[in-house]
A = this chain, B = another copy of it.
């Protein structure tokens, strides 16, 4: 309704001062007498003045460019991009510009970041190799260009904050889940590939839950490269490898798969008709996992809010850049989402804006 908010001019008029003085007090720029300061502050308190954010944006001609760099599995990136797209739609009208660079190798990512240096006011990066990106990140920081990480952290750099998953905790909840759904004693096979940092944490977290558990015996890790999840890329050899694990271990009760080869494992489990005997758990929601979740060949996947990983870092970084927002946390850890057949549809390309 017409609950007209009071403005700086209103205050000025009421106190017989000029707008400039009020402005000085509000944004404490100094050069104002103690008494007047107090008078103004009191008035503001009493009449609950709210600065008009629109007018602020306008006057400041807020206009900033955020660079985004990542080297991630295509389908996963797509989910993050949905979040980026939404926040862009929301904030472009307030002066947000984006430069998005998708790398197809780590070397390329480094080059792309370097190239952005002169073009952006802030950087948001998912460093493929954190250790090898630290110094580059720090260079940005030295030049007063804020950097935040998402999806993958570079904790040893001077980035402002990390927005993403705690992969160790992700491993723990998988452990809890497998404990809860695996009905009888037996073996659990871990599938991973050893040059995968993320997978390594997921395995460690898993161990941390299951180590005191004598009910299950953990075998592996068995190495399966996930070919970035491309269904066709798996060879008969890959299939046989999984098959052999199943055949060699008649008391196998579950697969714990930390990379995208979850698709392969599910396929083999299904083909061998082992769906009811062997539980399958993995991570993230890729298109080729969906049918297996629907048939309950895959019992559950743990997700990590990919949408939010795109949406929030941009939003927060924008506020830092144009409104001097102070960030209180150095880590924003995304929720660990347990996705089963019946809530699957809420996690597959699902968002509100």
Contact present for A176 and B342 (CB under 8 Å)? yes
> Given A53-B94, A54-B58, A335 and B342 touching (CB < 8 A)?
no
Which residues of chain B have C-beta atoms less than 8 A from A183's C-beta? 183-184
A210: interface (CB < 8 Å): no
Which residues of chain B have C-beta atoms less than 8 A from A312's C-beta? 352-353
Which residue from B50, B94, B340 sits with its C-beta under 8 Å from A338?
B340
Contact present for A93 and B53 (CB under 8 Å)? yes
Contact present for A335 and B308 (CB under 8 Å)? no
A118 to chain B: closest residue by CB: B1
- Cα distance A181–B179 in the bound complex, in angstroms: 9
Which residue from B97, B181, B353 sits with its C-beta under 8 Å from A181?
B181
A350: interface (CB < 8 Å): yes
Residues of chain A in range 156-195 having any CB-CB distance to chain B below 8 Å: 169, 172-173, 175-177, 180-181, 183-184
Contact present for A169 and B342 (CB under 8 Å)? yes
Contact present for B176 and A119 (CB under 8 Å)? no
Which residue from B64, B119, B315, B346 sits with its C-beta under 8 Å from A336?
B346
Which residues of chain B have C-beta atoms less than 8 A from A332's C-beta? 352
- Cα distance A5–B253 in the bound complex, in angstroms: 59
Which residues of chain B have C-beta atoms less than 8 A from A33's C-beta? none
The 10 nearest A-B residue pairs measured at CB? A53-B93, A54-B57, A338-B338, A173-B342, A335-B346, A336-B343, A54-B54, A176-B342, A54-B58, A180-B181
A62 to chain B: closest residue by CB: B54
| Shortest beta-carbon distance from A202 to chain B in Å | 13
> Given A121-B1, A180-B181, A172 and B342 touching (CB < 8 A)?
yes
A1 to chain B: closest residue by CB: B65
A14: interface (CB < 8 Å): no
- Cα distance A32–B347 in the bound complex, in angstroms: 47
Which residues of chain B have C-beta atoms less than 8 A from A25's C-beta? none
Which residues of chain B have C-beta atoms less than 8 A from A340's C-beta? 173, 176-177, 180, 338
Which residues of chain B have C-beta atoms less than 8 A from A63's C-beta? 2-5
| Shortest beta-carbon distance from A293 to chain B in Å | 11
A337: interface (CB < 8 Å): yes
A18: interface (CB < 8 Å): no
